[in-house]
Amino acid sequence: MNSNQTLYSILDLALVSKDNTLKQTFNDTLKLAQNAENFGYTRFWLAEHHNASNIASSATSVLIGYVAQGTKTLKVGSGGIMLPNHSPLIIAEQFGTLGSLYPNRIELGLGRAPGTDRATAEAIRSDFMQAAHSFPNELEKIQTYFSNENANSKIRATVAEGVNVPIYILGSSTDSAHLAAKKGLPYAFASHFATTHLFEALKVYREEFQPSEDYKQPYVITGVNIIIADTDAEAERLSTSLVRMIVGIFTGKRDFVQPPTAMTNDLKEIMQHPQVHQMLKYSFIGSKATVKSQIKEFLTQTKADELIAVTHLYDINDRIRSYELFAEIMQELN
């Protein structure tokens, strides 16, 4: 990894916009990835979520394969697979298969949250809480299944052995920072929504990092919400779709992504609510010039090796344009 440049990537949830079909949503996801490849993005990650009508990335490994098939050089992976929902053996088999189909392009980001509500988590796996507490051991099983040394084991993921699928640890607290540092793995912090512990977690990770065979130095990826348009006013208008998504999260009334509207006083008031304001702390909304200065300051503060951008917008063309402008910003800052 080139430490002289700050890489830039995309985290996508295959958002379902109002009046869009699932097929259109998946087509738009691929279209975004293809444009990202042309814009110079490093990786395109998909996040596992369940029981949310506005998120279509629930069958994450299937969608990763679809995106990888439709792109050429872009690294495609999970941001992340919520490991307590799954058997480590099955995940190793899925990603080992993907890694053989698309050599040196598939990545496995792992988290320990359910990616859903508690009742759904228990429907996915009745012993979810036990599996979540066992996350470090489950991670070790994944690493074992990918190793050539496991060829003599009684239990094998034969399609994963020796396949190059880099593992990343995802997190929103210091727990994951300790684990990533101990294992000598790259660390991706979900600062696009979990902002409180960002700097504490990065400090823990960097100070405790133990070099591994693949990573001699700590490697930090931080999440940011990005909405860029030709003017500040247009970006603010587009961001109303995001604000309504956030309201749905807090009220438990999730809905499809809504078309943007004028930024009303009510919406401005919602954005200043302490919980919403904290959640959107690392949201950079505006024209290219406005966001460029914000990104520059954020990079100075975090010293992140890579930014992974999340853009929740209603229209795919607005999303693509926002990501194009963000790529231009990163290229200029590099």
Q: Is residue 261 part of a domain?
A: no
Q: Is residue 13 part of a domain?
A: yes
Under DSSP, is residue 176 helix (H, G, I), strand (E, B) or coil?
Answer: helix
In the chain, the number of structural domains is: 1
Q: What is the mean pLDDT of residues 319-332?
A: 98
**Range list of β-strands (E), 191-246:** 220-228
**What is the pLDDT, as a whole number, of residue 76?**
98
User: How many Cα atoms occupy the beta-carbon half-sphere of 19 within 13 Å?
Assistant: 4
Residue 101 structural domain: 7-229+286-333
Beta bridge mates, 225: 283, 310
Q: What is the CATH number of the domain that holds 12?
A: 3.20.20.30
Q: Is residue 277 part of a domain?
A: no
**What is the chain's mean pLDDT, rounded?**
94
- Residue reference for tokens 């990533």: 180
Q: Is residue 325 part of a domain?
A: yes
Q: Is residue 84 part of a domain?
A: yes
| Distance in angstroms (rounded) separating the CA atoms of residues 79 and 260 | 26
Strands 283-286, 106-111: pairing is unpaired
| Distance in angstroms (rounded) separating the CA atoms of residues 164 and 213 | 13
**What is the pLDDT, as a whole number, of residue 2?**
42
**Is pTM, for the whole model, over 0.85?**
yes
Provide the CA 75 distance to its chain's centre, in angstroms. Answer: 13
Under DSSP, is residue 233 helix (H, G, I), strand (E, B) or coil?
Answer: helix
Residue 159's closest CA among 217, 220, 99?
A: 99
**What is the pLDDT, as a whole number, of residue 3?**
54
Instruction: Decide which of 180 and 251 is more confident.
Output: 180
Q: Dihedral of the CA atoms 44, 97, 142, 196 (nearest 10)?
A: 10
**What is the pLDDT, as a whole number, of residue 121?**
80
Q: Is residue 281 part of a domain?
A: no
Q: Is residue 26 part of a domain?
A: yes
Q: Is residue 265 part of a domain?
A: no
